[in-house]
Amino acid sequence: MNDPDHPVNLSRRHVLKTGAAAALGIPFLNSVNFSHAAGDESRSNTFTPGQAKAVIEIWMWGGPSHLDTFDPKPGAGPDYCGPYNEVVKTVADGMVINSKLPLMAKQADKFSLIRSMTHGVNAHETASYLMQTGRSPGDGQVYPCIGSVVSKFKGYDAGYKGLLPPYIVLTQPHGRFSEEGFLGPKYKPFATGGDPSRNPFTVQGVIAQGITDARQQSRRDLLHSLDTLGKANTNTRDFKKLDECEEKAYSMILGDARKVFDLSSEPAALRDKYGRNSFGQSCLMARKLVENGVKYITLNYKGWDTHKMHFNLMNQKLPQMDQAIATLFEDLAGRGLLDSTIVWCSGEFGRTPKVLWNEPWKGGRGHFGACFSSLVGGGGFVGGHVVGASDEKGMEVADRPVYPQDFLGSIYEKLGINPEGTLPNGRGEHVPITIPTQGKGRLKEIM
Amino acid sequence: MIISDSLGFCRQSTGLPVVTVILTLALGSLGAETIEKKTEKNDGQAKAVVAKPQVPPAAPLVVPYESDQAPVPATRIDQLVQSVLKKQGITPARTCSDEVFIRRVFLDVIGTLPKQREVVYFINSNDPGKRAKLIDVLMARDEFTDYWTLKWCDLLRVKSEFPVNLWPNGVQAYHRWIRDAVKENRPYDVFARQLLTSSGSNFREPAVNFYRAVQGTDPEAIGEMVALTFMGVRTEHWSENTRKEFGTFFSRVAYKKTVEWKEEIVYLDPEANTPLNAVFPDRKKITIPAGDDPRVAFADWLITPENPWFTQSISNRVWYWLMGRGIIHEPDDVRPNNPVSNPGLLTYLQGELVKSNYDLKHLFRLILNSQTYQQSCIPRSKHPYAAAYFGHYHMRRLDAEVLVDALNGFGNTTEKYWSPIPEPFTFIPEDKRTITLSDGSITSQFLEMFGRPSRDKGYESERETNPTEFQRLYMLNSTEIHARIYKSPVLKQILAQTRNDKPATVRMVYLSILSRRPTPQEAAVALKYFNGPGKKSGSTGAVYDLAWALLNTKEFLYKH
């Protein structure tokens, strides 16, 4: 698809490399001019072959507190940090994180933190949409989330022929504000359902309990011999499509795909290390999916909307998160997969730095979109760095604001998807993949 | 109660509701035993079917989809359709069988599968007017209101969050208002006028939510929505100037918040107190006096009977809804270079709409009672445009909501519908059917997987009916499908009643899933499967497999 000798590609790469456009503060305008000059929409979407081949997204639905995870503020006092007044030094120079995350601290050379994420929106759905699409809602079209965009450029459209769908959500779907939007159902994620910590992991539609292969096969034959309408009306496009879908479905039900979902083949010690809980085993599952060619995996990690009894909940969740994410980085690196796999981890926003001690919250934190933290590592992102900073109480961005489109654009770039390329919006128009930023743009510091 | 509603509000009342009572009562009183006997008797008939030369004997009758019965008397619709078919050299499809008809008309008119006893009663009836009577029965049922409210809510963008932000209070008010209009069969011109000209709080004047359910408040965005909804026109095909001019009619819509959360008042901007020059889409100019609501001027222009845009758009939509394909297709993309496949037909429907005082049920009845609607889905012509000229019934997959209701009806399962946004969460009582859901943003993996429309823009094409591999995986092998089969009270009852009579088991399973009896070949295949290797003859597991297979046939998944 990508023609490295094409002059347009060369010139765009040149611009990006020199950072000339970004330095001028008009990266978007410049690139648009380039693609228009080229007069060839299809070429404008991929550029330098990216280092990254796959993405694991850990989506902390509900919005985790930045102060209690990656941006601790022990100096701000108990009104801000509650009982969490201890930090742990990481293996990365100068980076400290909440002391409840000691295992992640040991892997900190493999990821970087962005402590100056901002979009200012405090409503779950709009904030999620912003973080997933890099756009504000309301301009009359619904944009695809990053997973669908990656699925488009790295999945079937790019000749993907894997055993499994190119875009998978473990385990529950995300919700409408972070799906395929105008790209259409082809780019929807496959949500597995089930629970990878159970045996077997009953993947929706792929693995059903108590039905043998022989029975699957004999039922399939029965279905075909009773397909009277299909046989009476053979010449319809819909029916042909349906038959193709059935082929694909059966290749997952009866083929090798389900072996991928079988975690019992993994060493027990490794499974223990990830944590024998849904999130831990989902992380292990995600690694297996990457190994098997899946392009984009979202772990929908719920339970971060902690308005009440915040610290009790964090005491339960942080050790689980620490164990699983640390092991994921270690495991990916150990298998040589980290160089080609981006792992990112974020909620839609952070939580109010000031603790709400009063009834009815009893030590809760509200929604906070002004300043929060995200994590990114692998796939060519440099580890061990901190990008940007919040002020001493985590209330505002103190340095280097990073907007959702900057963050997503950086991931696209590492995948070899041109963030300034375009998407067909289903009305015959091509819209830019990312919009211009108010900030300093993509994360050059760690790229 | 249903019947008195239909009596009270059907302007074209034909005295049929009396028959309705009898038919409904009769359907209700039929027991399983009667089903058995009648079915058996009828099986004999089915085998003896011989194609009569009612239609040219080019091909043998396709059992069980085609009928050798004389088609219903040709209506004006049929004359108009057939004259075009003849001119194009397209042989029309045969009339569909009674089995096909009852399933089709239930799904098309009330979004619900017929019950076994309703099917048996209908196919055994010798009443030559039974199809017409059934149509009237269905149009008076509560599910008619539910189903068509759902359809209107798609077009009118009824959803509580993102990207239109009506929020639950607004959604409920809007939904209830639409439902009332459908239930009383409010004349369509009145319905449109109310939506276009209402002012007030979105909680107290529900129709104003029409203006709130637009992404954006600028006049052009509103104009885009109005043109799409009531004229079937996508303004993106208009020149920028025309779009601007059109927006003038909505340039004085103002919005203000109140202290109540998410309450908003839509009103006529009192500051804008100068006369307003505007241009209608037909290029006619108007000066609207100061203080007058330009929306009223637009509505007056829109709903005059002489204005073809309004009647054309809705007549074409109704045709599309029932026939699966518009006379102008897509039905909301009317423009000079999108051809009308049968102009005479569309003009006729428009005329009928005006003559009946904008009675949409009248159009429904005309279409449903035509031969054209009652054709089988098996084409008898290889003409590439046979479907576009309505040479056969256009198959399409069941709507997501209808499909999940059908599966739940079979499995005695319910859906847990809820919405996490806004807090506090909204939960829908589990005994409610999916076609009654008001809010397009209620969480449901199933509905999303099977293409529920997003209600973002109100395009008909937002309802997605293309098959995907995920849908197939779900139907073939998901825990939910298996659970529905294992727990199905319908299957349990069949098994209990027909324990030693395997042909009866097969027949009942067919009736309960495909709304028809099996053909002799199908019965033989099923019985052979019951006795297949490794199976106890007709074991429960084998019956489950049969049910599974039928739920996965194209015939179950499609309206045909």
Tell me the three-class secondary structure of A139-174, residue by residue: CCCCCCCHHHHHHHHHCHHHCCCCCCCCEEEECCCC
How many whole angstroms from its chain centre is CA A215? Answer: 37
Confidence (pLDDT) at A32: 34
Give DSSP secondary structure letters for A27-65.
HHHHHHHHHHHHT-GGGGGB-SPPS--EEEEEEETT---
- Pull the structure tokens for residue B38: 């009648």
CB-CB under 8 Å, B522 with A226: yes
> Is omega for the bond preceding A360 within 30 degrees of 0, making it cis?
yes
**CB nearest to B552's CB, from A175, A223, A427:** A223
Q: Give the position of tokens 């045909």.
A: B560
**Cβ <8 Å between A249 and B441:** no
Cα gap A28→A405, rounded to integer Å: 12
Single-letter residue type at A178 = S
What pLDDT sits at residue A24?
35
Residue type, position B432, single letter = K
Q: Which positions in chain A touch B443 (Cβ < 8 Å)?
A: 175
Taking contacts as CB-CB distances below 8 angstroms, the residues of chain A near B163 are 137-138, 142
DSSP per-residue string spanning B71-120: PPPP-HHHHHHHHHHHHHT-PPPPBBPHHHHHHHHHHHHHSSPPPHHHHH
Q: For residue B8, what pLDDT is reported?
A: 30
Phi first, then psi, for residue B383 (nearest 5°) are -55, 130
Run means of pLDDT, 10 residues per run, chain B, 560 residues: 33 36 38 38 41 54 90 94 97 96 98 96 96 98 98 95 79 96 98 98 96 90 96 93 96 94 92 93 94 96 93 98 96 93 97 98 98 96 94 96 95 79 72 91 88 90 90 94 94 92 96 97 96 76 96 98
Q: Report, as an integer, the average pLDDT of A285-304.
A: 96
CB A371 within 8 A of CB A117: yes
What six digits make up the tokens of B320?
Answer: 């599309």
How many other C-beta atoms are found inside a 10 Å radius of the C-beta of residue A38?
A: 17
Residue environment code for A113-143, b if the CB has 16+ CB neighbours within 10 A, otherwise e = bbbbbbbebbbbbbbbbbbbbbbebbebbbb
Give the per-residue pLDDT at B250: 97
- CB contact at 8 A, A430 and A423: yes
What string of H, E and C letters represents the secondary structure of B326-340? Answer: CCECCCCCCCCCCCE
The per-residue pLDDT for B418 is: 79
Mark yes or no for CB contact A176/B454 under 8 Å. Answer: yes
Residue B413: predicted pLDDT: 79
Task: Tell me, yes or no, if A179 comes closer than 8 A to chain B by beta carbon.
Answer: yes
Q: Do A409 and A47 meet the contact criterion of CB atoms below 8 Å apart?
A: no
- Give residue B58's pLDDT: 59
> Strand (E) positions, A277-354?
296-301, 341-346, 350-351
Which DSSP string do the residues of B265-278 spell out, in sequence order?
EEEE-TT--S-EEE
* CB-closest option in A140, A179, A185 to B215: A140
Residue B322: CB partners within 8 Å, gap ≥ 6? B108, B364, B367, B368, B373
State pLDDT tens for residues A42-79: 446 666 667 999 999 999 999 999 999 999 999 999 99
CB B424 within 8 A of CB B445: no
Query: Once rounded to an integer, what is the mean pLDDT over residues A378-399?
Result: 96
Q: Which residues of B touch A216 (CB under 8 A)?
A: 477
How far is B505 from chain A, CA to nearest CA, in Å?
16
Rounded distance between C-alpha atoms, residue A205 and residue B470, angstroms: 8
Q: How far is CA A136 from the centre of its chain?
A: 18
Q: What average pLDDT does the segment A375-384 reach?
A: 97
| Integer Cα distance of A34 and A44 in angstroms | 9
User: What tokens were used for B158?
Assistant: 């009824």
As a residue count, chain A comes to 447
Residue that wins the pLDDT comparison between A184 and B368: B368
Please report, as a single letter, which amino acid is at residue A409.
G
Structure tokens at B6: 């239909």
Residue B443, pLDDT score: 81
Give the amino acid at B422.
Answer: P
Confidence of residue A167 (pLDDT cuts 50, 70, 90): very high
Which phi-psi region, left, alpha or beta, contains residue B411 (left: φ > 0; alpha: ψ -120 to 50)? alpha
DSSP readout, B212-239? HTSS--SHHHHHHHHHHHHH---GGGS-
Residue B147 CA to residue B503 CA, distance in Å, equals 35
The string of pLDDT tens digits covering residues A343-358 is 999 999 999 999 999 8
Cα B368 versus chain centre, distance:
12
Residue A35: which pLDDT band, with cuts at 50, 70 and 90?
very low
Q: Say how many C-beta atoms besides its own lie within 10 A of residue A198's C-beta.
A: 11
Distance in angstroms (rounded) separating the CA atoms of residues A269 and A283 = 15
- Residues B448, A216, A259, A341: what is their CA dihedral angle, to the nearest 10 degrees? -20
Contacts of A226 in chain B (CB under 8 A): 522, 525-526, 549-550, 553
pLDDT at residue B444, rounded to an integer = 86
Note the maximum CA span of chain B. Answer: 86
Whole-number Å distance between alpha carbons of A423 and A7: 22
CA B135, CA B306: separation in Å to the nearest integer?
31
Residue B467 with chain A: CB contacts under 8 Å:
238, 241-242, 245
How far is A306 from A425, CA to CA, in rounded Å?
A: 36
Question: Which residues have a Cβ under 8 Å from the Cβ of A289 and sit 6 or more positions away?
Answer: A164, A168, A260, A297
Position A378 pLDDT exceeds 90: yes
Residues 207-226 of chain B with CB under 8 A from chain A are: 215-216, 221, 224
What was the pLDDT predicted at A106?
A: 98
Selected residues 180-219 of chain A with any CB under 8 Å from a CB in chain B: 184-186, 188, 190-191, 193-194, 202, 204-209, 211, 214-216, 218-219
The residue whose two tokens read 């409503």 is A123
Name the residue among A124, A219, A248 with its Cβ closest to that of B469: A248
Query: Is any Cβ of chain A less than 8 angstroms from the Cβ of B456?
Result: yes
Residue A11 CA: distances (Å) to CA of A5, A34, A423, B254? 10, 8, 21, 49
Structure token digits, residue B321:
């809804």
CB B473 within 8 Å of CB B466: no
Pairing mode of beta strands A350-351, A367-368: antiparallel
Between the alpha carbon of residue B95 and those of residues B223, B389, B396, B473, B542, the distances in Å are 43, 16, 18, 34, 35
Nearest-by-Cβ selection for A208 from B379, B441, B479:
B479
Q: Which two tokens stand for residue A345?
A: 């981890």
**pLDDT tens profile A194-222:** 999 998 899 989 988 888 999 999 999 99
Of all residues in chain A, what percent carry a pLDDT higher than 90? 74
